[in-house]
Amino acid sequence: MLYVIGIGPGNEEFFTKEAENILNSVDMIVCYKGYKEYIERFQKEIYVNGMTKEVERVEYALNQAKNKTVALVSNGDATIYGLASLAFELNEKNFEKVEINVVSGITSASICSAILGAPLNHDFSVVSLSDLLTPLEKILKRIICAFESDMILAIYNPLGKKRKEPFLSALEIILDYSKDRNIDYVIGIVKNAGRDKQEYKITTINGILENLDYYMDYIDMSTTLIVGNSNTKIINGKMITPRGYLSKY
Amino acid sequence: MLYVIGIGPGNEEFFTKEAENILNSVDMIVCYKGYKEYIERFQKEIYVNGMTKEVERVEYALNQAKNKTVALVSNGDATIYGLASLAFELNEKNFEKVEINVVSGITSASICSAILGAPLNHDFSVVSLSDLLTPLEKILKRIICAFESDMILAIYNPLGKKRKEPFLSALEIILDYSKDRNIDYVIGIVKNAGRDKQEYKITTINGILENLDYYMDYIDMSTTLIVGNSNTKIINGKMITPRGYLSKY
pLDDT digits (tens, 9 = 90+) for B237-246: 999 999 999 8
Q: What is the pLDDT along chain A (249 residues), one digit of tens a residue?
A: 999 999 999 999 999 999 999 999 999 999 999 999 999 999 999 999 998 899 999 999 999 999 999 999 999 999 999 999 999 999 999 999 999 999 999 999 999 999 999 999 999 999 999 999 999 999 999 999 999 999 999 999 999 989 999 999 999 999 999 999 999 999 999 999 999 999 999 999 999 999 999 999 999 999 999 999 999 999 999 999 999 998 877
Residues A138 and A216 in one domain: yes
What would the mean pLDDT of B201-220 be, rounded to a whole number? 98
Counting one residue from A and one from B, how many pairs have CB atoms under 8 Å apart?
Answer: 260
Strands (E), B113-228: 117-118, 124-128, 152-156, 186-191, 199-204, 223-227
CATH code at position B32:
3.40.1010.10
Q: How would you label A67-86 residue by residue, b for 16+ Cβ within 10 Å and e otherwise? A: eeebbbbbbbbbbbbbbbbb
Within 13 Å of residue A234, how many CA atoms lie on the same side as its CB?
12
Nearest chain B residue to A237, by CA:
B88
Across the interface, do B12 and A16 touch by the CB < 8 Å criterion?
no
Contacts with B131 from chain A: Cβ below 8 Å: none
For residue B86, the Cα-to-chain-centroid distance in whole angstroms is 17
- What integer best gives the mean pLDDT of chain B? 97
Domain match, A99 and A114 both: no
Query: What confidence tens digit (pLDDT) does each residue in B130-169 have?
Result: 999 999 999 999 999 999 999 999 999 999 989 999 999 9
**pLDDT value of position B126:** 98
Cβ distance of A17 and B13 shorter than 8 Å: yes
Our count of domains for chain A comes to 2
| 8 Å CB contact of A149 and B128 | no
Please report residues of B whose CB lies closer than 8 A to that of A100. 238
End position of a domain, from candidates A103, A124, A140: A103
Minimal Cα–Cα distance from B207 to chain A, Å?
Answer: 23
Judged by CB atoms closer than 8 Å, whether chains meet at A118 and B14 is answered as no
- Give a yes or no: residue A200 inside a domain: yes
Clarify whether residues B94 and B126 are in a common domain. no
End residue of a domain, out of B74, B103, B132: B103
3-state secondary structure of A149: coil
Which of A16, A18, A120 has its CB closest to that of B80?
A: A120
Residues A214 and A129 in one domain: yes
Q: Answer with the one of A103, A136, A154 that is the final residue of a domain.
A: A103
A80 lies in the same domain as A123: no
Comparing alpha-carbon positions, the chain B residue that sits nearest to A157 is: B123
Q: Is residue A249 part of a domain?
A: no
Whether the CB-CB separation of A190 and A112 falls below 8 Å is answered with: yes
3-state helix, strand, coil in chain B (%, to 5): 40, 25, 35
A176 within some domain? yes
For residue A136, the one-letter residue type is: L
- From A18, A142, A235, residue closest to B123, measured CB to CB: A142
Q: Do residues A43 and A16 both lie within one domain? A: yes
Specify whether A80 is located in the same domain as A200. no
Put simply, the answer to whether B110 touches A111 (Cβ < 8 Å) is: no
Are residue B165 and residue B121 in the same domain, yes or no? yes
Three-state secondary structure along A40-60? HHHCCEEEEECCCCHHHHHHH
Average pLDDT over every residue of B91-98: 97
Closest CB from B8, B55, B105 relative to A249: B55
> A78 lies in which domain range?
2-103
> Is A86 in Cβ contact with B246 (below 8 Å)?
yes
Q: Give pLDDT, residue A248.
A: 79
Which percentage of chain B shows pLDDT scores above 90? 96
State the pLDDT at residue A76. Answer: 97
Answer whether residue B53 shows pLDDT above 80: yes
Question: Do B130 and B196 fall within a single domain?
Answer: yes
What residue type is assigned to position B115 of the chain?
Answer: I
% residues pLDDT > 70 (chain B)? 100
Contact criterion met (CB < 8 Å) for A235 and B92: yes
pLDDT at position A247 is 83
pLDDT for residue B44: 98
Other CB atoms within 10 A of residue B240 CB: 26
Q: Cβ separation of A118 and B84 shorter than 8 Å?
A: yes
**Residue A170: predicted pLDDT:** 98
Specify the pLDDT at position A49.
Answer: 97
Q: State the pLDDT confidence band at B247, using cuts at 50, 70 and 90.
A: confident
Q: Residues of A with CB below 8 A from B103's CB?
A: 114
Chain B environment of A77 (Cβ under 8 Å): 110, 113, 120
Contacts of A110 in chain B (CB under 8 A): 6, 77, 79-80, 104-107
In this complex, the residue of B52, B102, B124 whose CB is nearest that of residue A114 is B102
